[in-house]
Structure 1
Amino acid sequence: MRLVPGQFVVHPHHGPAVVLDRKVRQLKGKDVAYVELEIQDKGLRISVPESMVKTIGVRDVSSHTTVRKLMSLLAKPSEHVEEQWSRRLKAFQEKLATGDLPRVAEVVRDLHRRHEVKELSMAERMLHREAVDVLAAEVAIVLDISAAEAEDVMAQAIDGVPLKDLGLDRGKAAKAQREDARQAA
């Protein structure tokens, strides 16, 4: 994957980022090329060795189709959730650590629904917040909306609102409709 300044990418642990620059540094007497990334909404800058970009899991931003699939996944019934607190937390942490959006969406969905039935522990609330932040950041970029609006779209999807009512229809007409609704608010 060749990264160029100004390009949006997603770091598996930090979320959406913009490529700032490419630099070469000396490491143990050898030149090593690094890509400098600025993590969106966090003001964090990180450097990733170019040779490790794929291994680390840095990837392109998801497509509109992928976001539609994620919203469909959020609307699906929750899978079996472990009853024992420590096992449940560990399973959610493992899913979140993968950085795989469908697995992150499962964490968001399952913890959202669990919160509706029973109060979450502090660790579960923190994990839920982290998962929501990761997913909402990417949804916001793809749909060209704020992170808060993306969180609202995700919550509505979990609650069963049809995708067409979420403004996820393709094309310029849907984008214009979202823009009209945003200006009216």
Structure 2
Amino acid sequence: MTTKNNALTFQTGEAVVYPGHGLGLITGIEEQEVAGFKLELLVLSLEAGKVTVRIPIAKAKSSGLRKLSEPAVVKQALEILSEKARAKRGMWNRRAADFQERIGTGQLIAVAEVLRDLNRGPQQEEASHSERQIFESALDFMIKEVAAINQITDTEARKLIEQSLASAPRPGKSAKGNAAA
């Protein structure tokens, strides 16, 4: 079964991204009566926690439900990972809220920016517990989508992402950075 929603077409069996929940699979489109109204619902099976969610088709777009990113977006996201981290100033709780908000958008580019900005390379263990949790959350989200788009395993997607992160310049990595320290 296929349905259209504001120029978005969803089909049973299609992989989609549901912000805040990650990758899901449309397992069906059904009609239910709720409070006297007939609603057409997309039935999603979400990987995280093996949860089933029903979203009214009329609200699918406003909920942020989207198709998987295009391969060009994946390429751009991987390039972002290899860029220098953008240093953020200010209190950690505000930065953490900003990172969580960007992950919550479900947009691959925003998630890649979070990974880039939290990347400490081999010193990731030195990060605070909450910093590591946000990093792992963003990493898991990106792994799932990259794997689905490129039709590779999660392990292969993780390697691809980690290679991009490893090529990013970090403070103290260059001779100039060591002289300043």
Given the two structures, how large is their TM-score scaled by the length of structure 2?
0.81
Asked if 1:107 corresponds to 2:94, the answer is no
Asked if 1:25 corresponds to 2:38, the answer is no
CA-to-aligned-CA distance 1:17-42 (integer Å, 9 cap, x gap): 11111111111111011110111354
After superposition, the Cα gap between the structure-2 partners of 1:56 and 1:117, relative to the gap in structure 1 and judged at 3 Å, is: closer
After superposition, the Cα gap between the structure-2 partners of 1:20 and 1:72, relative to the gap in structure 1 and judged at 3 Å, is: same
**Runs of at least 5 residues in structure 1 that lack an aligned partner in the other structure:** 162-185
After superposition, the Cα gap between the structure-2 partners of 1:87 and 1:41, relative to the gap in structure 1 and judged at 3 Å, is: closer
Q: Hey, what's the Cα distance between the residues in 2 that align with 1:130 and 1:151?
A: 13
Contact 1:114–1:120 under 8 Å retained in 2: no
Equivalent position of 1:90 in the other structure = 97
- Residue 101 of structure 1: how far off its partner (Å): 1.4
Amino acid aligned to 1:79: R
Q: Hey, what's the Cα distance between the residues in 1 that align with 2:158 and 2:124?
A: 20
Report % sequence identity: 28
Asked if 1:62 corresponds to 2:49, the answer is no
Q: How do residues 150-161 of structure 1 correspond to structure 2 at under 5 angstroms? A: 150-160=157-167
* Structure 1 SS opposite 2:89: coil
Equivalent position of 2:82 in the other structure = 75
Equivalent position of 1:172 in the other structure = none
Tell me the matched-pair count: 161
- Residue 114 of structure 1: how far off its partner (Å): 7.1
CA-to-aligned-CA distance 1:27-85 (integer Å, 9 cap, x gap): 11110111101113542211111101110111111121111111111111111223532
Q: Hey, what's the Cα distance between the residues in 2 that align with 1:119 and 1:47?
A: 40
Root-mean-square deviation (Å): 1.9
- Residue 100 of structure 1: how far off its partner (Å): 1.9
* Structure 2 SS opposite 1:81: coil
* Structure 2 SS opposite 1:99: coil
Q: Hey, what's the Cα distance between the residues in 1 that align with 2:99 and 2:161?
A: 18
After superposition, the Cα gap between the structure-2 partners of 1:117 and 1:140, relative to the gap in structure 1 and judged at 3 Å, is: closer
Equivalent position of 1:16 in the other structure = 23
Match of 2:132 among 125, 131, 141: 125
Asked if 1:144 corresponds to 2:151, the answer is yes
Q: Hey, what's the Cα distance between the residues in 2 that align with 1:41 and 1:50?
A: 22
Higher helix share: 1
Higher strand share: 2
Q: Hey, what's the Cα distance between the residues in 1 that align with 2:121 and 2:166?
A: 12
* Structure 2 SS opposite 1:55: coil
- Residue 147 of structure 1: how far off its partner (Å): 1.4
